[in-house]
Structure 1
């Protein structure tokens, strides 16, 4: 692959400080946050609010605009995850209390064998991760993971990390997820070919970074499996659904979301009429939160009413599932608040400017810019799309780039946007809290795995670019 990045450094947007000072403030805020949470054991929401407030003021955000910025960061993150996590928890609760998760877990273990249970769960994660976003997919699938872990024993990480890694890989590398699709549009890479390269890079990346690392870490870091909700065993056996019913409930939101993403993509390229009422209705039904809500309603009928549960009992179970994930949602929102402060303070621009070295190969520059965007503001999808926009002029000016080259540049950006998930990433808090991990454990499991995914994915993409 030919081409190099040559770009002028820009001042940090939103910050009155210089580039070096802006980076120092960002690094200091992260260190203070880790100190408060890890060593002083301060409640994460309080720590995130305090550090976000001080960081915003130091970076020059006007005093009368600080709370508006914090509320926007909190609100935008909650808007993305609250309904997803809430409805996902409800669906998971219905699968747990009726034995559906146990049925699917026993079937997977029986099909692959006990020794290959992590592989079976990970492969299922790859399949479900094709159309479903990471947050929703993990919440839906964790009850199955917990059921397998209870059955076979050991650290829950041995079974959970291959699944979480599978969703992370698909979310970053493979269309129709919004990050790679948006980046492809900015870079000019064909989405169909990007799907091929996404799988070509993503599957071996998952085998190394998700499956192999997950099994290795599962032997070295013990995290207990959450206790199963109390159920009447005799009643549970009576209500036990078939494997087909469970798969149908899991595939229902997946199919609806797939229809949404497929129609949206086809409408953008003019294959279908985006103004058609039918297309708009199907697209609406395939919105992640609505698709999950539909799945919950179907589960209430199929797993609940048809198996002898009363309406009051179902309502009680659904409400109970929300109480267990309220802290997860709020801490995740607070992480988004901190990310918004760093973004508004111009940290991403300052980091990108620091990479302004002529002669860097284009694919390497794409990866490094995405890394700094990811570290600065937290969101992988935002890092992917903003990095693609940043480097798009250099790609357009480069000579001799093929469609394959363009796809591999997108994969490089996706790889960079995955690494170093830390305290300003809402996903860091979501995964950590769902798996009942403290911050140090989340850093050495989830953060390391995300970094491995990014590095391994980039190495494979760079290798392919050298031979194609």
Structure 2
């Protein structure tokens, strides 16, 4: 879909956007109206207010909802199935015990974050988060305290890698638009992402976790004893040779987690090579590996492997495994619908022309190019929610200035980081990722704003300050 021709000036459009966000927060936090209903209602009101033709509003709403839910639903569904099997087979506990054994109890959050940084290199934020969810919750249950202590380091690591480091699509697109080198962007982006995570996420997670108690949610995975048999039934089943209740080996769990990592790497790396011209698009073997590396397909393969190696050997029958997976899907319906509605709201803001109007007024700010890039990306992120849209739009706006400045690959890489940093800060109610984090970790909207939004902002600001410091010395 294309944005409509704005019916109002930039100031009016921004006031409408601010009023829509305020109304949404009022309905959810004060009136206590269900988030899904509130998001759909405010999306309709906003679409009318900005001047969409009334006959087009249903299509606008469905496009934003369908585009988001189409990418999220499969990931969340397969991810929660995998999480359920890891949880109930004891695999998550085995992995958690091994991590804690290597890093120590006091450094459990650091262990989770480091693991997420490694897995986050090829895996998208939402896919990585759903795969890691049972491990985060298992560690949090073991040591107690606020789940924020363990959730924010891992979630922040996935967010940092997804926003800043190729081969993720946002930084790849930005580097291409600005005429940079993707390899240099990766070499520059990885250390900046790691340092920004360490200084912008770890201290904040400790601070917030010590002051805001969020109990460990168990709605997604339930108790281990409730599935795959328990108690006397386990003993009977063992006696009959119908199943094995021993936890899986660490190597088995690690290999299962490496399956999506390797498969998704096929897709992301091959996409990068095709974009860079190192491979020709359309070759059969390239397309086959890209299919296997498509995130939903990779997670599907992983779930099938988990059924074979974790679920079926420990169940009395395949029907019991099926029931376990079916039970896992029920609690996530609300998550999927709310996330889709968040995408609907963001889509209305995007197609209303708010982003374009804002971009036009900010394209020549008379300040250093790297600061201009950060500010434009930040305002675009706040206005319409999507980090990827903010990345690609902001890079397009400064592309002419970059070409005129005749910058080297290193400086262009720093600009990509600055744009990614601006596209990371201030995640709020028009961002589908906000709703994923909120629902996965059992937080209400106010708590999510006080925790996730704050952490995303410190992460983005940290990345920008590092890039700005390097820009000043080159």
Q: TM-score range by the shorter chain?
A: over 0.9
Residues 204-239 of structure 1 deviation map (CA, whole Å, 9 limit, x = unaligned): 100122222112211111011123424255649824
Q: Say if 1:115 and 1:319 are closer, same or farther in 2 by CA, change over 3 A.
A: same
Please name the residue that 1:8 is paired with.
Answer: none
Please name the residue that 1:174 is paired with.
Answer: 165
CA distance in 1, matches of 2:315, 2:327: 19
1:425 is the counterpart of 2:419: no
Please name the residue that 2:84 is paired with.
Answer: 93
Tell me the CA shift for residue 13 of structure 1: 5.2
1:450 is the counterpart of 2:441: no
Please name the residue that 1:120 is paired with.
Answer: 111
Please name the residue that 1:262 is paired with.
Answer: 269
1:34 is the counterpart of 2:25: yes
Q: TM-score, normalised by structure 1?
A: 0.95
Give the 3-state SS of the residue equivalent to 1:14 in structure 2: coil
Residues 125-173 of structure 1 deviation map (CA, whole Å, 9 limit, x = unaligned): 1011011100010111010011111111111110110000000000001
Tell me the CA shift for residue 270 of structure 1: 2.8
CA distance in 2, matches of 1:67, 1:308: 46
Q: Say if 1:77 and 1:111 are closer, same or farther in 2 by CA, change over 3 A.
A: same
Matched length: 456
Residues 172-196 of structure 1 deviation map (CA, whole Å, 9 limit, x = unaligned): 0111100001111001111111111
CA distance in 2, matches of 1:122, 1:325: 24
Residues 358-403 of structure 1 deviation map (CA, whole Å, 9 limit, x = unaligned): 421111111111111111111111211121112111211224x111
Please name the residue that 2:351 is paired with.
Answer: 344
1:79 is the counterpart of 2:47: no
1:402 is the counterpart of 2:408: yes
CA distance in 1, matches of 2:244, 2:367: 62
Judge conservation of contact 1:52–1:337 (CA < 8 Å) in 2.
yes
CA distance in 2, matches of 1:364, 1:189: 18
Please name the residue that 2:300 is paired with.
Answer: 293
Among residues 133, 136, 151, which one is paired with 1:142 in the alignment?
A: 133
1:155 is the counterpart of 2:175: no
Structure 2 unaligned runs (5+)? 235-242
CA distance in 2, matches of 1:199, 1:465: 16
1:229 is the counterpart of 2:223: yes
Residues 305-331 of structure 1 deviation map (CA, whole Å, 9 limit, x = unaligned): 233442101111111111111100100
Judge conservation of contact 2:4–2:52 (CA < 8 Å) in 1.
no
Q: TM-score, normalised by structure 2?
A: 0.94
Give the 3-state SS of the residue equivalent to 1:429 in structure 2: helix
Please name the residue that 1:416 is paired with.
Answer: 422
1:60 is the counterpart of 2:73: no
Q: Say if 1:354 and 1:237 are closer, same or farther in 2 by CA, change over 3 A.
A: farther
Q: Say if 1:309 and 1:393 are closer, same or farther in 2 by CA, change over 3 A.
A: farther
Judge conservation of contact 1:56–1:341 (CA < 8 Å) in 2.
yes
Please name the residue that 2:441 is paired with.
Answer: 435
Judge conservation of contact 2:363–2:397 (CA < 8 Å) in 1.
no
Please name the residue that 2:239 is paired with.
Answer: none
CA distance in 2, matches of 1:15, 1:275: 39
Judge conservation of contact 1:336–1:425 (CA < 8 Å) in 2.
yes
Please name the residue that 2:389 is paired with.
Answer: 382
Judge conservation of contact 1:239–1:303 (CA < 8 Å) in 2.
no
CA distance in 2, matches of 1:269, 1:434: 36
CA distance in 2, matches of 1:83, 1:239: 30
Judge conservation of contact 2:174–2:392 (CA < 8 Å) in 1.
yes
CA distance in 2, matches of 1:218, 1:246: 28
